């Protein structure tokens, strides 16, 4: 399948994407994971992106588009992809449309994960992420704690609160989402690709997407 996952920070795009990859071998492409990997590795991209990310601002469109143009050419995209965190602005959505036309790729849909703001705030402040850049597993101190406190179940690395998950950065990310990313809902509605789902529980979302895809 070829999907865009839309939704506020904390809506569960990453969790849903991971569950969907298990269905048909489609690959999860998370621009947030790619950027955090680059920051950790200290690459040029990482150096440029870090200050924006820590503040809860979006990284400039040209950096993101540079990453994504190359990413679509990797062979693992052939089976399908789940875009998690991209596009995030109208210019990114316009650019994506052009890239996909050029590569002759058709999207199935843009899934909009709808979650009440209180749930989002609670999830983000209790979320913990594995520091290992090739793992980046997600936990929640309340609802999904690791087996050993502070350690990743999958790889044993430390799990931490992300730099952009302080209260100030979270509130900034939500504002940024409302201002820059929420307009994409209208964009994909116009394209006839929008699918709204109540995303309070991730497995319900996966089932709704499965049914919708099978119906198409």
Identity of the residue, 137 or 184, whose beta carbon is nearer to Zn ion in the bound complex: 137
With contact defined as beta carbons under 8 Å apart, do 47 and 40 qualify? no
Residue 9 to residue 120: CA distance in whole angstroms: 7
C-beta separation of 42 from 211 below 8 A: no
Residues 6+ apart with CB under 8 A from 101: none
Cis peptide before 87 (omega within 30 of 0): yes
Q: Is 71 a catalytic residue?
A: no
Interaction mask 156-175, ligand ADP, x per CB under 6 A:
--------x--------x--
Q: Closer to ligand ADP by CB, 57 or 196: give it.
A: 57
Which phi and psi (to 5°) does residue 159 adopt?
-110, 135
Q: At its nearest, how many Å lie between ligand ADP and the CB of residue 190?
A: 20
Q: Which of 50, 71, 127, 128 is catalytic?
A: 127
Size of the site for ligand ADP (CB under 6 A): 18
One of 20, 58, 109, 152 touching ligand ADP (CB under 6 A): 58
Is 155 a binder of Zn ion (CB under 5 A)? yes
State yes or no: residue 152 binds Zn ion (CB under 5 A).
yes
Is 13 an annotated catalytic residue? yes
| Interface contacts to ligand ADP, rule CB under 6 A | 9-10, 31-32, 35, 52-53, 56-59, 64, 85-86, 88, 92, 164, 173
Q: Which residues are known to be catalytic?
A: 13, 88, 127, 162, 173
| Interface contacts to Zn ion, rule CB under 5 A | 130, 132, 135, 137, 152, 154-155, 157
């Amino acid at each position: 399948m070829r999907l865009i996952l839309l939704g506020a920070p904390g809506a569960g795009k990453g969790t849903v994407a991971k569950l969907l990859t298990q269905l048909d071998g489609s690959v999860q492409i998370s621009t947030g994971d790619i950027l955090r990997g680059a920051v950790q590795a200290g690459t040029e991209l990482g150096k440029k992106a870090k200050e924006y990310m820590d503040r809860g601002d979006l990284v400039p469109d040209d950096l993101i588009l540079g990453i994504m143009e190359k990413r679509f050419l990797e062979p693992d995209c052939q089976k399908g992809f789940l875009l998690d965190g991209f596009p995030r602005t109208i210019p990114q959505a316009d650019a994506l449309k052009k890239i996909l036309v050029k590569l002759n790729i058709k999207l199935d849909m843009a899934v909009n994960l709808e979650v009440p703001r209180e749930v989002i705030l609670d999830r983000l402040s209790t979320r913990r992420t594995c520091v290992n850049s090739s793992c980046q597993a997600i936990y929640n101190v309340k609802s999904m704690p690791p087996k050993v406190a502070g350690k990743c179940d999958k790889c044993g690395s430390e799990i931490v609160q992300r730099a952009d998950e302080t209260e100030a950065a979270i509130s900034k990310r939500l504002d940024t989402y409302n201002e820059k990313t929420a307009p994409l809902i209208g964009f994909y509605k116009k394209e006839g690709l929008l699918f709204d789902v109540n995303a309070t529980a991730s497995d319900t979302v996966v089932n709704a997407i499965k049914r919708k895809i099978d119906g198409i």
